[in-house]
Structure 1
Amino acid sequence: QAHAKVWHNYREHFQPHQKGMMSIVLGSHWIEPNKPEDELDISKCQKSMERVLGWFAKPIHGDGDYPEELKNEFSFLPRFTEDEKNYIKGTADFFAFSFGPNNFKPPNTLPKMGQNLSLNLREVLNWIKLEYNSPRILIAENGWFTDSHVKTDDTTAIYMMKNFINKVLQAIKYDDVDVFGYTAWSLLDGFEWQHAYNIRRGLFYVDFKSEKKERIPKSSALYYKQIIRENGFFPRESTPSLQAQFSCDFSWGITESVLKAESVASSPQFCDSSLYLWNVTGDGLLHKVEGVKLKTRPAQCTDFVSIKKQLDLLEKMKVTHYRFALDWSLILPNGDLSVVNRQVLRYYRCVISEVLKLNVQSMVTLYYPTHTYLGLPGPLLKTGGWLNQSTAFAFQDYAALCFRELGDLVKLWITINEPNQLSNVYNRSSNDTYRAAHNLLIAHAMAWRTYDEQYRSFQDGKVSLSLHSDWAEPANPYSESHSKAASRFLQFEIGWFANPIFKTGDYPATMREYIGFKNRKGLSYTLLPSFTSEEKQLIKGAADFYALNHFTTRFVIHEPQNGS
């Protein structure tokens, strides 16, 4: 009634010449049924919204009275007279709405009541539209919080603000909700009611312990300023959708990991010189005819049933290249050339030759580590695997064998798949990781040089290695520390292998400087190996193209460890 009296007073005495509008700010949570198909859960959620928001919203924006469910359940609730209902009804020129952390109750009590807390501002705006006959809505307070120790890099607040404002825009554009304004809470850090000074919600950071209480803009203030300037969301740096075609010689392919080879032909019937009669005694079995010998035919690629299945799938897709990996441990079980499994090599040659008949080129990966044992031949694993430099020389011999046996049919080679991801295996120490990477780089370079010097002139193929190449962006684009962290991520993730091969022959200077900095601070005892001048010359330029495996973009933050 107090609000209604003020509204009528303004309406009668001030609004005619001041031309203003008046409302009352109502705050609410938003909850969704634990089981969306359960009518009882839906009913509980509706009751919850009526008790929190409808308690005031229905008298003002509805029929002038409390929700019926509320009156029925709480007999002590005061009753409005008909005159009071008419006096309160419609006493708002717009629906002023508050949505933020203060509106949410502890979540552990809600599932028991068939409810789930939700931060979906779009949904609650739609509920208001449906309940109160599409009122004009102003978001009068909205925002999130950070812990009190967070200063200006309030990254979480940026993403929460982006989510909230985007939900408002979706409600306007897709649902025809009449929202005419948004108000961020709040300008400055301050006393946050029951949370006191334990959280911060301001756009400007305030150091309460300083004498002058300086006001410093946070990242969220810069982001909100950008939203206001652009009046919404625009892809500032991304390329718009393009209606065009690739060049006619653009290659479309499919890739998989290690192709399991058949050790024996799956259709050996033409290799057997015997003649058989079937079911002559009614037993359903084959019976050999003694004394009869037939001519056999030479082994053929069609003897391998699995190849036919692969070909059928590739033909359906109409691709132009097919990438798969050989099984190093199967081809050279001893890790050296003392034992060569010719049957396995024959199987891979059959795959490549049959694929060529479909006018599809094979891109062959020599080494594709997919398991905890790295896919290495057992003897090499026992002697330390990639921690032992002798493995690099063994790989060179293995690569030369494959070039010699298969190179007349293969024009694209990948030596090693994602060597920059092997750190997941060598996790005993950073030193082991860097040592293994060092030997992997040398192994690749020696294999590339072998092809370049001994096979390229008459096989005319190209060789590279494939690097895991996810992109990285600073989680907080307004934070210099996040930008540096994202750049550092790319150097340690991609530049670690790409810089030696495609640029200088050595690791990125950023890596050496950062590792050295941590060592000087006593935060690490890692040593990044050094290349000799001969090794630098060996590695530099050892790739005919850049092969990348890309899956996502990562948001990177700067998070100091060990109190540094």
Structure 2
Amino acid sequence: CNKIACYTGNGYDVWEKFVRQNAFERDEFYHGEFPKKFGWGTATAAYQIEGAWNVEGKGESTWDHYTHNAPCRLLYNQTGDVACDSYHNFDDDLAIIKELGLSHYRFSLSWSRLFPDGKLTSGPLPDGVRYYNDVINKLIAANVEPMVTLFHWDLPQALQDEFGGFNSSEIIPYYLDYADFCFRTFGGRVKYWFTFNEPYVYCTLGHGYGVAAFAPGHYSPGEGVYYAAHSIIKSHAQAYHIYNNTYRESQKGQIGITLNTNWVEPMTTTDLDHIEASQRSLAFSTGWFAEPIFNSGDYPDVGNRSEYYNITYDRLPKFTEEEKELNKGTSDFFGLNHYTSNLIVPCSYYPEEGPTYDIPWGIRKLLIWIKRTYGDPVIYITENGISEHHSDGLDDDIRVNYYKNYINEVLKAIKEDDVNVKGYTAWSLMDNFEWAEGYSERFGLHWVNFTDPERTRIPKKSASYYRSLAGSGTYQLNQIFISCRSETDRDDFIFGLFPDSFLWGASSSAYQVEVSQYRFSLSWSRLFPTGNLMENEVANVEAVAYYNHVLDELEAREDVNLIKMLGVQQYRFSISWSRIFPDGTTSYVNQGGVDYYNSLIDSLLKIGVEPVVTLYHWDLPQALEDIGGLLNETVVDRFNEYTDFCFKTFGNRVKFWITFNEPYVITWLGSPGEAPYQATHNIIKAHAKAYRTYEKFYKGKQGGRIGMTMSTEWAEPKDPNNPSDVEAADRFLQSILGWFAHPIFKNGDYPEVVKKQVNERSQLQGTPSRLPVFTDAEKVEIAGTADFFAINGYTSRLVTYQDKSTWPPSYENDRDTHEEPIPGAIQATPDWLQIVPWGMRRLLNWLDREYGHPTVYITENGVGTSDATVDDQIRVNFYKAYINEALKAQQLDGVDLQGYTAWSLMD
């Protein structure tokens, strides 16, 4: 970094600025507002849309000539002869421009439509002048600013034939005559001029690698590209001075050039060689033209490759000292066309990502680089967009996502990096002739039917999105709705504050942490030397003091220190039933266990952390399991005795109780067949009895709250337009979550869909319904037995309908559903856990609506890893994304979410 820092001020520090930023931070979505006068526009180019290639005396352009005479080089022998036929249908263009509600429209003039052979002596053509006057006047009448490009690659063929085009400096006077005519004729109404569009592309493809299907098709990669660029820079600079000296004062306009570049990212951002390679790449693509115009007046100094090739002459033309002075400062703004980014290593060049090259963060870095390299110029983004190959669809989510994310990175550059961006122009207004790709690639906000003589324009989804964004000029929170299924809005990152009262916690459970962490033995003989308690033997005072000392030492144990370090308000842990009642009954109380939990609770309170106590987290005393466990109805009373003891013993300090953790997991995974339903039946009754005990005897004086923690995955219908899939998703949630929540939060009974499904499946198996029935009295006791809704959520599934009625009798899936992973979700550990953050928000919304807007606490959420690394970036990303979805549910959707607990404090 010290090496990199020495290049500060020359653009090198852009890579250093982001070198420690992880991908999650880099891609965070920024909510904010564009400046009030920020410009929103869209763009086209003459040859790509106008058609009418030879009407009204128009001369042949290099692209007319190339497509007519080199058809084998172009896709399907396609041409721009008709294209979108904008020459005859500009009113249709104007209609969709007005519908978008934009501030400006960037288009180019066809030189040969005004001067057939490129020379003033051949024109101007009245119909060409009329056409462009008409375009400009109609735009102004519609309150749309015309932004005019003088040269967008369609040189009059006559100048190409006579001089070799821009390969010769002899063409410069003719370009200046053309520019001067345009300033004089249209400049009273045009306030933004662009001399050239993407000269890098025009020079490298048209004059360097012309065989790559690009007009004028001149092949001279080692020399021709430099001569063409040289002529263009001199043409631009002199045109600028003509405007500046003759027209600026009266017309009050601005003039500049549009340059294009990809952002280039060093393969290794801390390797100076890689950074220098990136800087060199930018110097050749952007600096080639920007350095003479914005800085020194001369080309960037990147060394002499001619010497490497043993070429004795310099292939790069020289500017005279006078020309350098003329070049300097010849742009009122930096026009930028940008589409994608690449990875760079010395002597190599790689696409950064997939085939669409959708890399939003590259535009932000590029904008910062331009700011720092070229003296903080005013920047207009004059092209940005994405194509779909051979796609005729109107539902262009790929383009919606692209615009949304790229434009958001522009907003970051403005707000966070102070880059002086004044406007954004989407490419393109409509599908058009995409040069060598013909009509196979579609960049448009509007779909064009190229088989229809009328060339009908139809708005795509992206047009609606862009209109909305440009109209508001803001990415505000209220643009996100839970009903929106598009990834565009679904995955937004929002910035906001949880309320001061929001509770943050960490969690564990007894069997998972206590066995190895806290277990120690008491010496019976040390406490009671004769071992005869029946004789009321008094415990050894010194031994009691010793064990009290051991318990006191627990206050300093590592996990309490970790909890304190986290700064959370709550710590959720479970009490081991068998550590209190070894055989699960009141016949014997293990005082050591009682003392341990007393010490833990006191230790938490001492550091200002609220204990959240789960009474049952799956570790049933084996003695009770031996007599049937949760399948034996006596467990209801045994659980009530145990919880009553806990309320009485710890309740003066514990104000947050959870009766059962994830009963679905322990019942369904514990045993098949009828057992899950009977175990659930007993759990719900045990929960309700414990709640009523607390309500009757303890709540008034202790002031605590009590509930049950339920678990589920979010169920996303595989086809949201298929009622069967939607119903299947609801059945999934009702069968896992509603199975417990419906009795507690609604009417004391199971959901009707659960009763129906289990009854039908049981009948197929030739048995009565396997689902037990609550009595009316039990329903009354169960209903309303929770002070909050506690939920454990980790992942999501696609759910579809799957009829199992024809299967052999089976208990595997009474709900007739099939689940599968969410496409594209990151697979985590364990194997059932895919990372699907948006599922958390949808789950919270579903339960909010299903159960009457309860107070909600997320009591578990987290992700596993399969190794022992402490560099758990996957978990950082997981928490950040999931908690942000919780924030959306709370702030945008009105869910009464009051707390979040991470699973788990430790491995």
Which stretch shifts more, 19-28 or 153-162?
153-162
Q: Any residues of structure 2 matched to 1:311-390 within 5 Å, and which? A: 313=561, 322-327=571-576, 342=590, 345-347=593-595, 349-351=597-599, 354=602, 362-368=611-617, 390=630
Given that residues 33 and 114 in structure 1 are in contact (C-alpha distance below 8 angstroms), is that contact kept between their aligned partners in structure 2? no
Q: Deviations over 1:497-549 (max 9, x none)?
A: 54453235567789999x99xx9xxxxxxxx9978564866654232332321
Q: Residue 95 in 1 paired to residue 334 in 2?
A: yes
Partner residue of 2:63?
none
Change (3 A) 1:471 1:449: closer
Paired residue type of 2:883 = T
DSSP-derived class of the 1:92 partner: coil
Match of 1:257 among 497, 509, 515: 509
Q: Any residues of structure 2 matched to 1:423-502 within 5 Å, and which? A: 442-454=681-693, 456-460=695-699, 462-467=705-710, 492=733, 498-502=741-745
Partner residue of 2:554?
307
Gaps of 5+ in 1: 275-292, 370-374, 520-527, 557-564
Query: In 2, Cα distance between the equivalents of 1:52 and 1:499?
Result: 64
Deviation at 1:451, TM superposition (A): 1.5
Q: Residue 51 in 1 paired to residue 277 in 2?
A: no
Partner residue of 2:883?
552
Given that residues 630 and 682 in structure 2 are in contact (C-alpha distance below 8 angstroms), is that contact kept between their aligned partners in structure 1? no
Change (3 A) 1:240 1:89: closer
Match of 1:543 among 786, 789, 792: 786
Given that residues 740 and 750 in structure 2 are in contact (C-alpha distance below 8 angstroms), is that contact kept between their aligned partners in structure 1? yes
Query: In 2, Cα distance between the equivalents of 1:61 and 1:382?
Result: 85
Query: In 1, Cα distance between the equivalents of 2:710 and 2:346?
Result: 46
Query: In 2, Cα distance between the equivalents of 1:260 and 1:216?
Result: 65
Query: In 2, Cα distance between the equivalents of 1:195 and 1:437?
Result: 62
Q: Deviations over 1:15-61 (max 9, x none)?
A: 55544333332111112333333322221111011111112222333
Paired residue type of 1:307 = L
Given that residues 569 and 610 in structure 2 are in contact (C-alpha distance below 8 angstroms), is that contact kept between their aligned partners in structure 1? yes
Change (3 A) 1:207 1:496: farther
Q: Deviations over 1:212-261 (max 9, x none)?
A: 87655444433333332332333337999789965xxx988764333516
Partner residue of 2:824?
none
Q: Any residues of structure 2 matched to 1:241-320 within 5 Å, and which? A: 255-258=507-510, 260=514, 262-265=518-521, 271=527, 301-304=548-551, 307-309=554-556, 313=561
Q: Any residues of structure 2 matched to 1:105-124 within 5 Å, and which? A: 110=345, 113=348, 117=352, 119-124=361-366
DSSP-derived class of the 2:509 partner: strand
Paired residue type of 1:271 = L
Deviation at 1:62, TM superposition (A): 2.9
Which stretch shifts more, 406-415 or 114-123?
114-123
Given that residues 267 and 305 in structure 1 are in contact (C-alpha distance below 8 angstroms), is that contact kept between their aligned partners in structure 2? no
Q: Residue 162 in 1 paired to residue 410 in 2?
A: no
Q: Residue 177 in 1 paired to residue 419 in 2?
A: yes
Given that residues 691 and 786 in structure 2 are in contact (C-alpha distance below 8 angstroms), is that contact kept between their aligned partners in structure 1? no
Partner residue of 1:143?
385
Partner residue of 2:817?
none
Change (3 A) 1:163 1:321: closer
Q: Deviations over 1:318-372 (max 9, x none)?
A: 98865311235777888x7699884674355544675698598643202336xxx
Paired residue type of 2:572 = R
Q: Deviations over 1:384-427 (max 9, x none)?
A: xxxx995585864553242143220244421233457889x969
Change (3 A) 1:540 1:392: farther
Change (3 A) 1:323 1:177: closer
DSSP-derived class of the 2:477 partner: coil
Q: Residue 26 in 1 paired to residue 275 in 2?
A: no
Query: In 2, Cα distance between the equivalents of 1:63 and 1:315?
Result: 59
Q: Residue 202 in 1 paired to residue 454 in 2?
A: no
Change (3 A) 1:57 1:471: farther
Q: Residue 35 in 1 paired to residue 278 in 2?
A: no
Given that residues 267 and 345 in structure 2 are in contact (C-alpha distance below 8 angstroms), is that contact kept between their aligned partners in structure 1? no
Q: Deviations over 1:240-294 (max 9, x none)?
A: 9789965xxx9887643335165544698963859xxxxxxxxxxxxxxxxxx98
Change (3 A) 1:153 1:321: same
Query: In 2, Cα distance between the equivalents of 1:327 and 1:23?
Result: 75
Query: In 1, Cα distance between the equivalents of 2:540 and 2:781?
Result: 57
Match of 2:642 among 383, 389, 402: 402
Match of 1:225 among 467, 478, 483: 467
Change (3 A) 1:354 1:10: closer
Deviation at 1:67, TM superposition (A): 1.7
Q: Deviations over 1:64-90 (max 9, x none)?
A: 332221655584233334454445444
Given that residues 614 and 658 in structure 2 are in contact (C-alpha distance below 8 angstroms), is that contact kept between their aligned partners in structure 1? yes
Gaps of 5+ in 2: 1-230, 308-313, 353-358, 481-493, 531-538, 762-768, 791-856, 860-881, 889-907
Query: In 1, Cα distance between the equivalents of 2:503 and 2:416?
Result: 39
Partner residue of 1:524?
none
Change (3 A) 1:294 1:305: closer
Deviation at 1:182, TM superposition (A): 0.8
DSSP-derived class of the 2:478 partner: coil
Which stretch shifts more, 109-118 or 157-166?
109-118
Given that residues 495 and 508 in structure 1 are in contact (C-alpha distance below 8 angstroms), is that contact kept between their aligned partners in structure 2? yes
Provide the identity percentage. 31
Change (3 A) 1:153 1:183: same
Change (3 A) 1:72 1:90: farther
Partner residue of 1:287?
none
Query: In 2, Cα distance between the equivalents of 1:112 and 1:395?
Result: 73
Q: Residue 415 in 1 paired to residue 659 in 2?
A: yes
Deviation at 1:172, TM superposition (A): 2.6
CA RMSD of aligned residues (A): 5.6
Change (3 A) 1:452 1:407: same
DSSP-derived class of the 1:304 partner: helix
Which stretch shifts more, 264-273 or 37-46?
264-273
Which stretch shifts more, 235-244 or 451-460?
235-244
Partner residue of 1:186?
428
DSSP-derived class of the 2:299 partner: coil
Change (3 A) 1:26 1:353: closer
Change (3 A) 1:116 1:97: same
